[in-house]
A and B are shown apart, each in its own frame.
Chain A
Amino acid sequence: MRLKIGTAVLAASLALAGCSASATASAPASSGSAAAGQTIRILAEGGGVGLQKGIAEQFTKDTGIKVEFVEVPYADVHDKLAADISTGAGSYDLATIDVIWMTEFGPTLANLDDVMTPEVTADLPAALVADAKFEDHFIGMPQWANAEILFYRTDLFSDAKEQKAFKAEFGYDLVPPTNWQQYRDVAKFFNRPKDKLYGTAVKGAVETEWLAYVLQAGSPSVVLDSSGGVIIDDANHVKALEEYIAPYCTDKVGPDPATTDWAAAQNLFYQGQSAMMLFWAHAYRMTPDDSKVNGKVGVAPMIAGPGGIAAIPGPWYNVVPNDSPHPDLAKQYITYAYDHNVMGIDAPLGLAARTSAYEQFQDKAGYEAFKPLLTTLNAPATTGRPMNVHWQQITDEVLTPSVQKALTCKVSPQDVLTEAKSKIEAILKQ
């Protein structure tokens, strides 16, 4: 009897599961009604909410359309949007997403060609415009842009004794480094572990900074070429990896990089334990008041390699899911947010996407990071990541482990990248 009941329950469950797979697909998306007094729902993470809150409040005052933010942690933006799209629930009118998810969600997002006009794109860095496209049309409007720049300790760099000693050792003046060699020289000079000071911290737990080095080496793209071919083991990538690991492997600068991610590097700098760091520009205004380096932080553009200054931009985009309940209102908000993009600079993160917005503030006290950020974003070699559906898997399974392997200093960068190439090719075949 028990066996019969159990079998019946299991059979019912499997039957239900099979039915639901097709039932979900045929569930129609709810249609929207475009009228003032409506509410639009925006999925965003905390920083994104902070950057858009002021804009949203003004939008409501001017249009009568209410804006409700669904604030979630970073990873949940992806997971919740994926779940919403896969179930056809249509919970969000628009979402603010990281550029790395644009390709994955591309087929499920609305065409924004009517919003991204030539006048609009003219005021955006070229790399942000390129990353806003999926196939041959626009799917996102950049809400804010970010890139790594150089942070350095002004107290150390302006110290007369340090300047004299540096010149004596390296033969040129101690200034914020502008290229690979200067970066290594300054890092070596200030690396004093016994005094709890490192020249810099090489990051082994993230891959983005090495990818910036690849562009600085002169490569037109990272990992994949324009036709999707794997180029990770070419001369530029190898040179970039050799240069990236050199401060740690050759010059013995910095703590063990295996566990050094963004937060660890930032923490080290705020605790006064590193003389320089390459980090995202928004951090300039976020130095804690009780930090040892408060008031002693200078900024400069990202360093350059043979190919010039380059970085991997980190923009976030406003996108409209195909099953958005109010797509026209969502586009109206997106256009409004672009027009008032400068308001994001007053938010805690203090970022924008428009070049003109940054230019309004770049000469004002407290916004010293904007000029280096614009220089970096507008550098000819600055390019986004490849728009490939497998990019997340390539990053998790190949790029980050490869950087970590190279930073063991036991395997040559060429060997690491040759192995990486075969792994990427296997992933692309899936």
Chain B
Amino acid sequence: MARRRFAALLMLPAIIFLVATVAYPLGTLLFNSFFNVKLLTPNRRTWVGFDDFVNTLTSPEVGTAALKTLQYSAFAMTLELVLGFGAALLFYAMRDRSAWARTIFIFPLLVPPIVAGLLWKFLLSLDTGMVNRVIDLLGLTPAGGQINWLGNVDTVIFTVSFADIWLTTSFVALVAYAGLQGLPADVLEAAEVDGAGYWQRVWHVILPLLRPVIAVIVIIRGVDVAKTFDLIFIQTEGGPQGASEVLSMEIYRTMIRYGNVGSASATAAVFLLVMAFFAALAYRVIWKPAND
């Protein structure tokens, strides 16, 4: 018993820190979600129970933003995983010769997201952007004219993710590379001796062994990409016509620009629950089978 008390005492500073920086803001968010409360008058609040939750789940704006978030996340995550693992496999094959390549590859990771968003906003600009200029020089401009990367309502939710993919594929590559380096060499050699081709080794040996690494990447990057705000906001502010307005932007507008704290808190609480669900799912589907 004395040991348990001592252990609890040692944990106390960390618990206090977590309560102050995580649990308290979270508790405030959940508390506010049951009230009609405005930003400028937080002391004046009316109990509304689950009304704001019902409004969140039935709101067309929230529904559209949720769909946009899903589209953005799925597209960005897929490309980041494919490109990141591809780069990691390449670095692994190059062994020590990959040192310079890896160093250059992580440069985008050092760029602040706001700067990355601005950079890609200019690159993808319809008339003055470098991307369309290069496409034009290569003679690949479509018959209908230059590509309106950030102005097409059907595709903007995917094109705004280019900045995200450019920024964080190197993170995926680095984590995957670290995982690859930890793989048991004898297992890979055995597979090679048994006649397995390169892609067979990747699919049947390497990827299964990397399940915990993949789970970490999917959970961390998945949550990160789902709550992206600055990258998209700086490029399109959620336009045109709300076609790139993701859930984080909807919550920001509702709380800060419209002053609806209660409503925004309810939406954020639902978002949190959905994220927790997906994280748990990723753990159960990807990580856990590797440990069974």
Interface 1/0 per residue, B247-261 and A, CB below 8 Å: 000000100111110
Measured CB to CB, the closest approach of chain A to B13, in angstroms, equals 14
Interface 1/0 per residue, B222-263 and A, CB below 8 Å: 000000000000001101111000000000010011111000
Contact A25 B43 (CB under 8 A): yes
List of A residues within 8 angstroms of B242 by Cβ: 397, 401
Contact residues, A5-22 vs B (CB, 8 A):
5, 9-10, 12-14, 16-18, 20-22
CA distance A104 to B256 in the complex (A): 11
Size of interface on B: residues with Cβ below 8 Å to A:
43
Measured CB to CB, the closest approach of chain A to B44, in angstroms, equals 8
For B126, give its contact among A25, A255, A396, A400 (CB under 8 Å): A255
Task: Answer whether residue B71 sits at the interface, using C-beta atoms and an 8 A cutoff.
Answer: no
Contact residues, B11-41 vs A (CB, 8 A):
15, 18-19, 23-24, 26-28, 30-32, 37, 39-41
List of B residues within 8 angstroms of A264 by Cβ: 125
For B257, give its contact among A271, A393, A408 (CB under 8 Å): A393
Pick the interface stretch among A50-58, A78-86, A178-186, A358-366: A78-86
Contact B128 A258 (CB under 8 A): no
Task: Answer whether residue B151 sits at the interface, using C-beta atoms and an 8 A cutoff.
Answer: yes
Q: A205-B240, A396-B257 are in contact. Are A86 and B41 (CB under 8 A)?
A: yes
Contact B31 A259 (CB under 8 A): no
List of A residues within 8 angstroms of B258 by Cβ: 390, 392-393
For A259, give its contact among B8, B15, B18, B125 (CB under 8 Å): B125
Q: A14-B30, A259-B150 are in contact. Are A25 and B42 (CB under 8 A)?
A: yes
Measured CB to CB, the closest approach of chain B to A183, in angstroms, equals 21
For B42, give its contact among A86, A205, A397, A400 (CB under 8 Å): A86
Measured CB to CB, the closest approach of chain A to B60, in angstroms, equals 10
Q: A21-B45, A105-B40, A107-B40 are in contact. Are A255 and B127 (CB under 8 A)?
A: yes
Contact B24 A16 (CB under 8 A): yes
List of A residues within 8 angstroms of B257 by Cβ: 78, 392-393, 396
List of B residues within 8 angstroms of A14 by Cβ: 27, 30-31
Q: Which residues of B contact A (CB under 8 A)?
A: 4, 8, 15, 18-19, 23-24, 26-28, 30-32, 37, 39-45, 61, 125-128, 148, 150-153, 236-237, 239-242, 253, 256-260
13 chain-A/chain-B pairs, Cβ below 8 angstroms: A13-B26, A14-B27, A21-B28, A21-B45, A79-B256, A82-B39, A204-B240, A258-B239, A259-B236, A259-B239, A259-B240, A393-B258, A396-B253
Q: Which residues of A contact B (CB under 8 A)?
A: 1, 5, 9-10, 12-14, 16-18, 20-22, 24-26, 78-79, 82, 85-87, 104-105, 107-108, 204-205, 255-256, 258-259, 264, 267-268, 271, 273, 390, 392-393, 396-397, 400-401, 404-405, 408, 430
Closest 6 CB pairs of A and B: A25-B43, A258-B151, A13-B27, A17-B27, A13-B23, A17-B28
